[in-house]
Structures are given as C-alpha cells and as structure tokens.
Amino acid sequence: MSSSFIIKNPLDNKTTQTMTSTVKYTTPAYRKLRGYAFDPSMSLQMETAEVNKIVYKVVWEPLETDNELGTSYPRGEYLEIIDYDPSTGVFYTPVDLNNQHTIMEEGLAPDINNPQFHQQMVYAVIMTTINNFEKALGRKIQWSDRSYQNEKGEFESEFVERLNVFPHAVRQANAFYHPDKKSLLFGYFEAFPASASLHMPGSTVFTCLSHDIIAHETTHAILDGLHRRYIEPSHPDTRAFHEAFADITALFQHFSFSEVLEHQIAKTKGNLESQNLLGQLAQEFGKAVGSYGSLRDAIGSYDKQSKKWVMHEGNPMDYQTNMEFHDRGAVLVSAIFSAFISAYKKRIHPILRIATGGTGVLPEGELHPDLVRELSAIAAKTAGHVLRICVRALDYCPPIDITFGDYLRAIITADKDMVSDDDMDYRIAFIEAFQKRGVFAKGLKNMSVESLCYKVHPETNAAEGIEKIFVDFLREFSQEIGYETDRGKIHDITRKFITGSKEFKMGIHQRINLKFIQGPGGKRFSEISGLLFPGNEKDCKDLGLIFSRSTGAKFQIGNLWLAVRATPEGKIVRHVVITLLQKRGVIASLDHDRFSVTGYFTPNTGEIPENGFIFRGGCTLIFDLDALRLRYAVKKDIDDIQRMEQQFRYSSDLRNAESAHSLYLDNEEMASLSGPFSFMHSLIHH
C-alpha cells in the first residue's frame, strides 16, 4: 500500500512536511483457529485438559463472511457452513472469521455453548483434512459431481464447487456425509452413558465438536470425489474400505498435534502400543452412547469383564469373520496402525539405545524432556509418512470393487514409485500387518514386495502401442492443467479432455474409440483394460453390453488426473491417471448353492430382470508423463465369473440383512440418512 500525506511537525507545530510510505501487507500463510484436539470431554479431565485445546493452522483462504444483508456464514473455496437446525427451526448467528478481533485472538475460544465456535471448529477441521489430502495427492481435491437426468432422460453431471456443512443438522447420535445432497450433516443428542462417572447423563453431545467425527465424515466426501463407485456395495470390502479410510485419516491426524503427542509420549514412555489417546477415536461419543472407552479403538479396546484395556494382536480370522462394514473396516484400520507401530519402533530403536546406555531398557520414572521431544518428532514424522502412503495409494486402486488385498498392492506399488530404497522397511511392515489379519491379495502366489507390486507395463514399439495413441493427449493435458489452481477450471479442462468439444478436437473417449477399439489394437486394448469392445449391436446385446451406433460397445471415462509429486530424493514424478468403466447386465442363478450365469441383459433401460444385476468392469491406467508411456494397468475384468458370483451372493445376503435391519428404523428421515456414510452403524446395540 502506498500513500503520501501532509503532516504538521508536532515540535514546532508549524512546518508542514510530506510523508510517504510504502508498506507491503503480504497475505498470511495461515488462519489460526482455536479448537479441540479431540472433543469437549477431554477438557473436563484434569489429565487431558491442558493438551486438548490446540490451535489449528488452516491454510489461508479469503473467506466470504458478508453479503448484502450483513454477516453471512463462512464460505470458502471448498465449503459453505450453513447453521440451520431443522428440529428447532433456528438459524444460528454466523461466526465472522474475518472480524479483526477474531483474527487476533486466533478465533473464538472453545466453548460447547457457543454455536459460533461450533461453526469455527467444523471449518478448521474440514480444511485441515482437505489440506492433508492435497499434500499427499499432489493436486486439488474435487467433490464428486452432482448427477441429474436431463429432459431427454440422459444422465448428466455437474461440478460441485462447495460442500454444504450443517453443524446442527439432526437430533441424533450420528453424523453423515450425504452423497446426493453434497452435504456434511452433524447431529447432537443427549448423553446416555453406561455410568454417570463416564459422562454426565442428559448433557448434550455435539458431534460437530469432535475432531475425529468431522475428519471421518470429510474423508468420506473426499473419497467419494476420488472414486465414486466405492459407494456401491459390490463387495464386502468396498464400503468397509470407505469406513476404514475415514477412521485412518482421523487417527493419523492426531499425530500432527504436537502438544498432544508429546504429552502422550511422556505418559506412555514412548510406548504407543500401550493405551493412549492417539489410537482412539471419538472418546466423548463413545462414552455418551454407553460404552466404556472410545467408540472405536484401532489398537486395542476395553475388556468388558476386567474393564481393562487390551491390545489387539491381529488374528488370521479377522478378515474372514467380520462382515459388517464398520467392523470389517476396523480390520484394515488395525492393520495400518500396526504397520505404523512397527515402523515407529524401528526408527526409535537407536535413540532408545543411546538414551539407555545400550540396554534399551528405560529406567523407572519420567522420561527426559529431550527424549520426549525426540520420540515425538519421530512419531509425528512416521505417522505423516504412513498417512501420505495411504492417501497416495488411492491413485493406484481400481475404480470399482476395491478389496483390502487390492489396497495393499496399491500401497506397495505407490510407495515403490516414490521411495526406491525402503531402508525403514515400511513396505515389509504393511505386508506383515495385513498378513497377520488374514488379508491376502487375490491370485498371487506369495506376499513378497516383488509379487505385490504391480508389474510395469512392457514397452512396445508397435504402431498400435498404447503409448502412441496417448502421447499428444498426455502432453496437451498436462500443459493445460499443470498450472491451473482454480477448481472449477480444473473441472472444465478435465471434462473437455474426456469428452472433447466443438473447438477442441477429440476427447480421450473418442480417441480410444477411433484409434484403438475400431482400429487394429482393439484386441490388445481389451487385454490391457479388462473390458469388452464388440463392434456390432448383436454381439453387444448377447454379452449384456450397451451398444451405441457411434462407438460400438459403450464404456465410460471415470477420472482423469494429473498427479505431481516430489520424491524424498528430490525427483519430480508426474503421472496421469485415467480410469475406464463399463457395465454389463448379468442374469444368474444359485442352484443347490451352485452359481451359474444364465444370461445377459442390456443394462440401460432401468428395468432389471429377475435374478439380474448390474456388473461392472473397470481399470486404472497410470501413465508416466516423462517417459510418455503406460506404467500400470490395474484392472477388474468385466468377464470375471468369480467376481460375478461373489457379487451375486453378497448382494443377496445384503438384501436379507437390510430388510431385517429396516424394521428398526423408525422413520423415513432416519432411514434415508442412515446411508452408507453415517459415523455409527447402529444404535441398537447400545
């Protein structure tokens, strides 16, 4: 800011002088906002009160907080907070995060009775979670498109700029991500604890004040934006994966709160396998709905009889026996957490040796503060690595039907692409933890790093080589999108490259079609992608595929992403990820428990024949932008009979379970909200 003005000399009050000044006010890097590290209940306990109040450093963004009527709810790049409570019909006064006093005070002080603080808390945690994903993915996150039917009855999709966040949406012990409404809905309720010593009976619990619940629901929304088909319960792992990932994010974010971390490291003397707050989720919620510890413990839980906390060892039957998706998800959370513990233990080992004169056995009493700081720094770093590895692996997952085994392969492959030398044995730690819980990768003879890692696609020089088709496209796409930071524009550019436009020659869809499927490479492309491309209407009909006059067998481009990441050695890795999807109508039967496919139907009429179901195939193609070649093709074949059987059996089990379950849902609102993305699976157990 530059200005000049006339001032009187205050000493003689006569001379007038011109003063000029040039001051540059830079945009701050962060907006600091106070909040709870866990939830309000931790502030009521002597031991945790001091560390529970933290300051969230939210990456700065201009926030709209006023409109022509005065103050409005905070509205930023990714979300808008709308504090309307339908059960009381009240709009709570918006918090003004741009108010100078609020800014100077690092936001409003944590207060359960102040709805404006509630709005601030959800904003801070959602933005922190988004930032963690973007750092790991190397690109901006997008919400899943809103799909609707146009006048012709065709499905179209539309960019969703902001998620709507309702801090007080329902009077219910639950919180939700609503994939159709593009909303996060937080409930509040009166506590009904198992014992009055755990939580005050009848006091109000707000899920919008729980870091873990907010991070969990935000992750559902982010994951839905990355892989929309993971909503579909085609495999018991798919929805469980959604739940697990949401918990993993919440858990590992605990390790970025340095005060909490040091406090817990001091308390456990660095042993993160013993009971501590970091490995537990939703403390207040758990106690308020009648259990002893937190709602979900990744590393251990309270034994009801002894009322003592015991560590989960991991059991080869875990994966086979837990079928409900929150329970099944817990198997994955526990595997990831245990991989983290192994990596952490390996890293602190030399420090402990130094600190103990070689014995590794810590003396009685408290740890030296320097040692606490050192161990905390290692824990934070390791947790950060593990979360980043987990998030990056999402780009290496198939677009449908994800299983835990697929995810392990994605983790190993993604990590190998980033870090060539695994001197800390992260990869071994992951493999061991999955194996211990009975999770294996389908079709592999062993669980070595080499086997689990997806094979790099062989380079071909043939004219029909997939690289040749994509070279120009990949170059142009990366040039156009590489420096774009506006999410709306990123969305438009991506759509243009997928579908093509009048001014823009050919989209990727058409390119694949013309140059590949209808050209000489058709058969090879089927092998690479696992999809089927018969050219004529009759064959399509016989196979249960949709036929289009212009393209032959229909397929869809799901995602198109550019991911730019720096390796620890400072190398820049640039990948373009493209996902392809195809659907097929399958009719099957179970005769004396023997599965057989009895026919196919065209899945575009909306009507599904008896014993028919929609079956999907898909693949994720990962291109290396610098070598300009296809690196991996991660696929789920559309011709996979085993997968058809698996889906057929699972969906009939699910239908039976759901019809039994629906008896307990007392009203329509609850039934519609208790969709795939609620925080709790059921209140009936409590």
The tokens describing 3, both together, are 């200005």
Q: Which residue, 220 or 515, is less far from Zn ion as judged by CB?
A: 220
The answer to whether the CB of 392 falls within 8 A of the CB of 245 is: no
- 146: exposed, middle or buried (Cβ count in 10 Å: 0-12, 13-18, 19+): middle
Residues 261, 231 contacting (CB under 8 angstroms): no
Cβ closest to Zn ion, residue 191 vs residue 246: 246
Q: Residue 38 or residue 177: which is nearer to Zn ion going by CB?
A: 177
CB of 677 to Zn ion, least distance (A): 5
> What is the DSSP track for 618-679?
EEEEEEETTTTEEEEEEEE-TT-HHHHHHHHHHHHHHHHHHHHHGGG--SHHHHHHSSTTBS
The length of the chain in residues reads 686
Our CB check for Zn ion shows the closer of 243 and 467 to be 243
Closest separation between CB of residue 214 and Zn ion, Å? 12
Q: Two tokens at 489?
A: 């524009």
Tokens of 287: 């106690």
Cβ closest to Zn ion, residue 237 vs residue 243: 243
Q: For residues 639 and 663, give the distance between their C-alpha atoms in angstroms, rounded to a whole number.
A: 37
Q: Are 567 and 675 in contact (CB under 8 A)?
A: no
**Contacts (Cβ under 8 Å, ≥6 apart) of 207:** 173, 174, 175, 186, 187, 188, 213, 214, 285, 679
Residue with tokens 């709160």: 257
What one-character DSSP code corresponds to residue 167?
E
Shortest Å distance, C-beta 96 to Zn ion: 31
Q: How far is the CB of 337 from Zn ion (least distance, A)?
A: 17
CB of 243 to Zn ion, least distance (A): 5
Residue indicated by tokens 């991989």: 339
In whole angstroms, the minimum distance from the beta carbon of 327 to Zn ion comes to 12
Q: Which is nearer to Zn ion, 326 or 636 (CB)?
A: 326
CB of 657 to Zn ion, least distance (A): 18
- Lookup: tokens for 55: 């300051």
Contact residues for 501 (Cβ-Cβ < 8 A; gap 6+): 507
CB of 224 or CB of 417, closer to Zn ion: 224
- φ/ψ (deg, to 5) at 647: -70, -40
Cα–Cα distance, 426 to 344 (Å, whole number): 10
Which residue, 159, 139, 142, 131, is CA-closest to 478? 139
- How far apart, in whole angstroms, are the C-alpha atoms of residue 287 and residue 277? 14
| Residue 382 exposure: Cα atoms within 13 Å on the Cβ side | 26
**Measured from the CB of residue 423, what is the shortest distance to Zn ion in angstroms?**
36
> CB of 660: closest distance to Zn ion in angstroms?
21
Give start and end residues of each alpha helix (H) in 93-202: 100-104, 115-137
Q: Which is nearer to Zn ion, 83 or 243 (CB)?
A: 243
Cβ closer to Zn ion: 176 or 615? 176
Q: Which residue, 163 or 545, is less far from Zn ion as judged by CB?
A: 163
CA angle, residues 560, 563, 567, in degrees to nearest 5: 160
The closest of 186, 221, 195, 196 to 39, measured between CA atoms, is 186
Query: What's the rounded Cα separation, in Å, for the pair 528 and 507?
Result: 20
Give min distance, CB of 242 to Zn ion, in A: 7
Total residues at interface with Zn ion (CB under 5 A): 2
Of residues 211 through 270, those in contact with Zn ion by CB under 5 A are 243, 246
Paired strand residues for 35: 54
Query: At closest approach, how far in Å is the CB of 172 from Zn ion?
Result: 14
Which CB atom, from 336 or from 560, has the smaller least distance to Zn ion? 336
Closest to 141 (Cα-Cα) out of 221, 53, 229, 68 = 221
Q: How far is the CB of 246 from Zn ion (least distance, A)?
A: 5
Q: How far is the CB of 211 from Zn ion (least distance, A)?
A: 15
Q: By C-beta, is 175 or 391 nearer to Zn ion?
A: 175
223 or 439: CB nearest Zn ion: 223
Interface ranges with Zn ion (CB under 5 A): 243, 246
